[in-house]
Amino acid sequence: MAEIMKGESVLVMGDATKAFGGLLAVKDFSLSLPKGSLQGLIGPNGAGKTTAFNLITGIIPLTSGTVEFKGERIDGLEPFEVTRLGIARTFQNIRLFSNLTVLDNVRIAYHAHSGYTLTDSLLRTKRYDQKERELTEKALDFLAIFKLEDIAGEVAKNLPYGQQRRVEIARALACDPSLLLLDEPAAGMNPREIQELMELIHFIKDRFDLTILLIEHQMRVVMGICEYLTVMDFGEVIARGTPKEIQNNEMVIEAYLGKGAGKSAAS
Amino acid sequence: MELGYLAGTIVKMVALIAWIYGLLWGLGRKKLWQKALTVVLAFVVIQAVILAKLGGVALFSAFDQTLLYQAITMAMVALGLNLIYGFNGQFSLAQWGFYGIGAYCAADITYRWTNGDASGLVIVGFGVILGGLAILGVGKFLKRKRGVPVLSSFTFYLFAIVAAGLVAVWLGKAVSTALAPGFGTAEAPGPLASPMALQAVFFLSVIFAGAFAALVSFIFGLPVLSLGSDYFGIATLGFAIIVKTLLVNSDTILPFPEMKGGRGMLGIPKILASMAPGDEPGIAGFFKNWTPAWLWAFVFLILVLVIVRNFVRSSTGRATLAVREDEIAARAMGIDVAGNKLLTFVVGSFVAGIGGAIYAHYMGFLTPSSFDFIAGFNPLIIVVFGGLGSMTGTIAASFGWIFFLEGFLRVLLGQLGTDAPSWRFVLYPIALLLLMLVRPQGLLGTVEWGFFRAEGFGARLKEAIAGPPGQKPKMAGE
């Protein structure tokens, strides 16, 4: 544990709490993500994992607590501002711009850094021409990294599920993040697609120098790629540790399988 | 004879639609000189056709010309609405209200001018410039102060704009008094009373009317666009009703006696009057009755086409589409969703204001009942008919709508009896129903053509989209 906690933290959450009326969806949630780590956030359904993601990205405001990104407070910022600072995410139920092409999906992610203003585009200045060309080239190169170049012109909704996931991850990376949040990336995938996904996650982590936090139910993914896990139940952190430690944690087994299951599972 | 007239109407309609699509095709060429040539040619053609005589009869009657003006204004309003509804996904009924605002604003400017009063032009001019600056200033200020709730920022903007308006009125009154001697007297008109000055004022009035509508849409849209789509729709309905009510009472509760409230505003200079060819043959006859009417209509049509297309085909335009597709994902992609909605709404309203200004100056008469919200469904139907998210479709539907409904059907049914033309309001809803059953995505769906097509950048894009030669594009998993 100590080894993993070493080094500069990219994201630090301190006692983050979110109350929906009387319900504490997330309670005193603390998290520290060292630079370059790949951590997992697991827990039964309704544990508050996605809410935690929404708190980080600013989609819902915190009730109390803090979120720091690279040493700066980011709670209270608009989601688009959080993204522009360098946190990108994917969604549990894929949220592609489904009627647009794969190319446009990626080009939209470049909007904040398009390099030209609306005035340039209205007057069709040289800068518009040049930047738009660069942007398209960049997007195509980017798609090539994910072996998606061939389907750049396809409308996103016509793609098969696994491919849509790939496009969504590519699109999130096009925002040029240093922290990537993946919300159940393996949901609904077959074993082969899961294998590909795990390879993809390793690949992008090295290639783009990322810190990754992922929510996942597929134990194969969690145990296979995460270096460190945080387990939530009923909005609270019930355990932290390496996958090995978590596998044998009584509390975790209880949360997933119910009381008493720990003994039978151990035997 | 009457059948011949009918056939002539059809030919004219088809020719005009071919004309506008020829224009779009030419504007879509790559080289600048090709575009310029297209614009010049398109104008010369339309002008020649309008001023041509065939066997002693003018090819385009005043009625036909009014239809064309109507088609052009409808195309402007509908394009603006397509931007808001089709591209940004915000169902809005306010478009017709902005159309009305643009019409009355421009009409008031030129009306006052022809009556020797520059105050309309000067006040609105100062108003939109100062108002725009106020918005920019407050925007900068709010950007520095993080996390201001939308209603608080609305208050800031509102105060800034009201202050700018007061300053504009005060400044405008002073300047227009200083300008008053320039109009001269009825016997000895000054330089400001010249026809040339009126044309220039007309040009400014159209731009200012668009800017004024945009200003109003900003202050209305800021708080209201934070509502979800359906609620936003209801709020815009409210706006359309407010505009109409204010126009009906413009001489009592608003300080504009010249608008004459519900009785209708008369005496607006008909800058865009229909033309009739001169009696003399040849070029002299051609130019005898020439006025810049069609030049103006044409210039503003091109302006609107260019604004809308350049807006959609840009990074901002893509962000607009992203907001329509999925607001949450758009926010996660670093797009300022609220800002984007507001921007699109303002641009759409600007275009509607320009359309209204054109309308006022070919009608020469405005009545609030033409800006009733019921009539506001017309552009909505056109946008849906042509295809949400297709500029090409909107143009087709606007021209088709006017020519078919007001031109062809009216003439055709007119043969059957004097009351028969009313049947067209039964026939076109049936056509709409059929279209929705057969093609719910509208006439053209999201297909674009010519000028409106997305520009490809280099052969590489095409290659990537088409896949390597002789090979089918690869699908997933391969």
Task: Tell me the shortest Cα–Cα distance from A85 to chain B, in angstroms.
Answer: 9
- How many other CB atoms sit within 10 Å of the CB of residue B31? 8
* CB count in 10 Å sphere of residue A190: 11
Instruction: Determine the 3-state secondary structure of B373 from DSSP.
Output: coil
ipTM (interface pTM) = 0.88
Decide if A140 and B446 are in contact by the 8 Å CB cutoff: no
> What are the residue boundaries of the structural domains of chain A, listed by start?
1-88+219-267, 90-174
Mean pLDDT of chain B, nearest integer:
87
CB atoms within 10 A of CB A195: 15
Cβ separation B460–A104 shorter than 8 A: no
> Which of A97, A150, A151 is opposite residue B329, by nearest beta carbon?
A97
Q: What residues of B are in contact with residue A84 (Cβ under 8 Å)?
A: 334
Among A108, A122, A132, the residue with its CB nearest the CB of B333 is A108
- Does the pLDDT at position A267 exceed 70? no
* pLDDT, mean of residues B361-382: 91
User: Of B241, B331, B258, which is closest to residue B105 (Cα–Cα)?
Assistant: B258
At residue B410, the pLDDT reads 76
pLDDT of residue B369: 92
- Higher per-residue confidence, A172 vs B17: A172
pLDDT score of B321:
95
- In a 13 Å sphere around the CA of A9, the CA atoms on its Cβ side amount to 16
Confidence of residue B75 (pLDDT cuts 50, 70, 90): very high
User: What's the pLDDT at B122?
Assistant: 95
The residue-averaged pLDDT of A14-41 equals 91
Q: Are B325 and A159 within 8 A, CB to CB?
A: no
pLDDT at B469: 43
- Return the structure tokens found at B246: 């204010």
User: Would you place residue B166 in the very low, low, confident or very high pLDDT band (cuts 50, 70, 90)?
Assistant: very high
Residue B153 lies in a domain: yes
Rounded to an integer, the average pLDDT of B457-466 is 52
Residue A195 forms contact with B (CB below 8 Å): no
**What does the pLDDT read at residue B110?**
95
Rounded CA-CA distance A6/A1 in Å is 9
Query: pLDDT value at position A167?
Result: 92
Residue A220 has pLDDT above 90, yes or no: no
Which residue of chain B has the CA closest to A172? B333
Interface touch B316/A111, C-beta < 8 Å: yes
> Residue A1's pLDDT is what?
41
Tell me whether the CATH fold assigned to A1-88+219-267 matches the one assigned to A90-174: yes
Give the structural domain span for B90.
76-276+291-395+421-466
Average pLDDT of the segment spanning A101-127: 90
- Specify burial of residue B363 (Cβ count, 10 A radius: 0-12, 13-18, 19+): buried
B4 within domain boundaries: no
Q: What pLDDT, on the 0 to 100 scale, is given for residue B457?
A: 53
Choose the mutation target among B324, B333, B341 for the interface with A, i.e. most A CBs under 10 Å. Answer: B333
- Among A89-103, B268-282, B302-316, the range scoring the smallest mean pLDDT is B268-282
Q: Is the dihedral of CA B6, B10, B11, B13 positive or negative?
A: positive
d(CA B75, CA B390): 12
Q: Which of A155-164, B4-13, B245-254 has the lowest mean pLDDT?
A: B4-13
The answer to whether A80 contacts B334, with C-beta atoms less than 8 Å apart, is yes
Q: Are B473 and A151 in contact (CB < 8 Å)?
A: yes
Alpha carbon distances (Å) from B210 to A254, B19, B207, B216, B349:
66, 26, 5, 10, 7
Q: Write out pLDDT tens, residues B120-160.
A: 999 999 999 999 999 999 999 998 887 788 888 999 999 99
> What residue of A is the nearest CA neighbor of B306?
A122
Question: Residue type for B192, please?
Answer: L
So what's the pLDDT on residue B477?
35
Nearest partner of A105 among A59, A164, A53, judged by Cα: A164
Residues from chain B that touch A140, judged by Cβ atoms under 8 A, are 460-461, 464
Q: Give every CB contact of residue B163 below 8 A, 6+ residues apart in sequence.
A: B134
Q: For position B475, what pLDDT does the model report?
A: 37
Binary contact (B457, A136; C-beta < 8 A) = yes
Is residue B316 in a domain?
Answer: yes
* A18: nearest Cα among A5, A29, A9: A29
Q: What is the mean pLDDT of residues B467-476?
A: 42
Decide if pLDDT at B331 tops 80. Answer: yes
**Tens digit of pLDDT for each residue in B402-417?**
887 777 777 777 777 7
Residue that wins the pLDDT comparison between A260 and B97: B97
Per the domain annotation, does B471 fall within a domain?
Answer: no
Which candidate, A206, A239, A208, places its Cα nearest to that of A225? A206
Q: How far is A235 from chain B (nearest CA, A)?
A: 23
Beta bridge partners of A215: A41, A183
Average pLDDT, integer, range B216-235? 90
Chain A residues with beta carbon closer than 8 angstroms to that of B476: 151, 159-160, 162-163, 166
Per-residue pLDDT band at A76 (split at 50, 70, 90)? confident
CA B63-B68-B71 angle, 5° bins = 125
Residue A260's pLDDT band (boundaries 50, 70, 90)?
low
Element (H, E) at B457: none
In chain B, the number of structural domains is 1
Highest mean pLDDT among B176-190, B336-350, B370-384, B419-433: B336-350
Of B315, B331, B455, the CB nearest to A114: B315
- pLDDT grade, residue B360 (50/70/90)? very high
pLDDT classification of A6: cutoffs 50, 70, 90? very low
CA B280 to each of CA A177, B283, B286: distance values in angstroms, whole numbers, following the listed order: 73, 8, 8
CA A188/CA B136 separation, integer angstroms: 48
Q: Closest to A140 (Cβ–Cβ): which among B326, B328, B460? A: B460
Beta-carbon separation of A80 and B147 below 8 A: no
Contact A79 B332 (CB under 8 A): yes
A44 in reach of chain B (CB within 8 A): no
Q: What per-residue confidence (pLDDT) applies to A249?
A: 85
Which chain A residues are within 8 Å of B322, Cβ to Cβ?
97, 100, 108, 111
Instruction: Tell me the β-bridge partners of A20.
Output: A23
- pLDDT at residue B449 is higher than 90: no
The pair of three-digit structure tokens given for residue B157, joined into one six-digit string: 């903007």
Radius of gyration of chain B (CA): 24
Interface of B with A (CB under 8 A): 146-147, 307, 310-311, 313-319, 321-322, 325-326, 328-337, 343, 446, 455, 457-458, 460-461, 464-467, 473-477
Q: What is the per-residue pLDDT for B404? A: 79
Report the gap between the CA of A101 and the closest CA in chain B (Å).
10
Please report whether residue B70 resides in a domain.
no
Tell me the nearest-neighbour CA distance from A46 into chain B, angstroms: 20
Share of chain B above pLDDT 70, in %: 92
Inspect the interface and report whether the beta carbons of B326 and A89 lie closer than 8 Å.
no
Query: Is residue B355 within 8 Å of B80, Cβ to Cβ?
Result: yes
Least Cα separation, residue A122 to chain B (angstroms):
5
Report DSSP state, residue A93.
Answer: S
Q: Is the pLDDT of residue B282 over 80?
A: no
pLDDT at A188: 83
Q: How confident is the model at residue B478 (pLDDT cuts 50, 70, 90)?
A: very low
Over chain A, what is the mean pLDDT? 87
Pick the most confident of A259-263, B94-98, B145-149, B415-419: B94-98
Task: Give the C-alpha separation, B175 to B153, whole Å.
Answer: 32
B343 and A88 within 8 Å at the Cβ level: the answer is no
Q: Smallest CA–CA separation between B466 and chain A, in Å?
A: 8
Report chain B residues whose CB lies below 8 A from the CB of A163.
475-477
Superfamily of domain A90-174: P-loop containing nucleotide triphosphate hydrolases (3.40.50.300)
The verdict on A107 touching B (C-beta cutoff 8 Å) is yes
Please tell me the class of the A1-88+219-267 domain.
alpha beta
Predicted local confidence at residue B285, as pLDDT: 63
Measured between beta carbons, the chain A residues lying within 8 angstroms of B336 are: 78, 80
Strand pairing report for A179-183 and A211-215: parallel
pLDDT band at A51 (very low <50, low <70, confident <90, very high): very high
Nearest chain B residue (CA) to A112: B334
Instruction: Tell me which of A5-14, B122-131, B175-184, B266-275 is least confident.
Output: A5-14
Partners of A214 in the β-ladder: A40, A182
Residue A224 CA to residue B300 CA, distance in Å, equals: 63
* pLDDT above 80 (res A57): yes
Strands A64-69, A72-73: pairing kind? antiparallel
Note which residues in 56-85 of chain A have CB less than 8 A from chain B: 57, 59, 76-80, 83-84
Q: Does A245 contact chain B (CB < 8 Å)?
A: no
Residues B327 and A3: their CA atoms lie apart, in Å, by 40
| A97 contacts B322? CB cut-off 8 A | yes
Give mean pLDDT, residues A209-235: 89
